A and B are shown apart, each in its own frame.
Chain A
Amino acid sequence: MPVFYGTEVASRLMLGTAQYPSPAILAEAFRQSGAGIATVSVRREAGGNRAGQDFWALIQDLGVTVLPNTAGCHAAREAVTTAQMARELFDTNWIKLEVIGNADTLQPDPFALIEAAAILTDDGFQVFPYCTEDLVLCERLVEAGCQVLMPWGAPIGTGLGLNNIYGLRSLRAHFPNIPLVVDAGLGLPSQAAHCIELGYDAVLLNTAVAKAGDPVAMARGFALAVEAGALAAEADPMEPRDMAAPSTPVLGKAFL
């Protein structure tokens, strides 16, 4: 099972908490997913608005490890302040660092990401950077202190799956000892299985479960998929080849 900053988690599935049809469906989806980590955010609360207090009670009942994010931040300073507020709220040094560089693709800003990761690491955070599969960016993030990398599979919320399988495979080969998580873009359990088959330690997803017609069933589907992927990865898969090779013995075939 994956180990993040010295903490082993019980599942290769990390699940977001947004966009579910109801709190009850969120809770049941989490139970069926077996996810060990739940991502959460911080948002404004003032006046008569107490939504955050109710949500916090719900999350505590799930019994999962919480990974707060800096979703929606577009600058390093903004992400750092958000992370500091999240650390106090959730009482954890873990932070999923998101610094968005493009509004259409929600692609991370690589330059601001490195800047924020270095500041946060110096401040005692354990950073989970939401990044692209760019090898040089990932090297710089590791130099900045990140001991986990979370490249996207495809843009957030698209469900397109793995847009750059070669890039993800290269990253795995280049960082054999850094936990790698595909974060964002997954739409189907088969894509999650593929990530784990590639040797990735975990997947992080939200929309694929929350926006499915039956989020609870989809959560179970993803749980089975990451288990299947892990079995396959550990089972030393065969090498693909271009030409056919009969699986049924040729010897002994009737001469007709």
Chain B
Amino acid sequence: MKIIVNGETVETVAETLARLLSEQGLGDAKVATSVNEVFVPKTARDGQPLNDGDRVEIVAPRQGG
């Protein structure tokens, strides 16, 4: 299926958000996530299904003012 990850269209077989993070090489990274503009806590990633067209955001700490 195709989903949108950080604004880019991605072809994936990941059925959950946790699997998508592993697929992206971020399984153990310090990141936070949302699906379709709703925050998904780390503890809920395993149970968060992904569907065709979902919009996923993956963010990490960054410089800020």
Contacts and interface: CB of A to CB of B under 8 A. Distances in A.
A39 interface: yes
Contact of A81 (B38, B60, B63): B38
A41 B63 CA distance: 6
A46 B5 contact: yes
A124 to B, nearest CB: 13
A69 interface: yes
A55 B61 contact: yes
A81 B39 contact: yes
Most buried by A among B33, B37, B41, B59: B59
B26 A46 contact: yes
Nearest to B28: A53
B46 to A, nearest CB: 15
A81 B58 CA distance: 12
Given A16-B64, A39-B65, A51-B60, A81 B34 contact: yes
Interface stretch (A82-90, A133-141, A158-166): A82-90
A207 interface: yes
A42 B60 CA distance: 5
A201 to B, nearest CB: 19
B62 A51 contact: yes
Nearest to B7: A44
Given A19-B63, A47-B24, A68-B64, A52 B31 contact: yes
Interface string A31-49: 0000000011111111110
Interface of B: 5-8, 24-26, 29-34, 37-39, 41-42, 57-65
Minimum-distance CB pairs A-B, first 10:
A52-B60, A41-B64, A16-B65, A206-B65, A85-B32, A45-B60, A84-B39, A43-B62, A18-B63, A42-B59
13 contacts: A16-B63, A16-B65, A17-B63, A40-B62, A42-B59, A43-B59, A43-B62, A51-B60, A55-B63, A84-B32, A88-B41, A89-B61, A206-B65
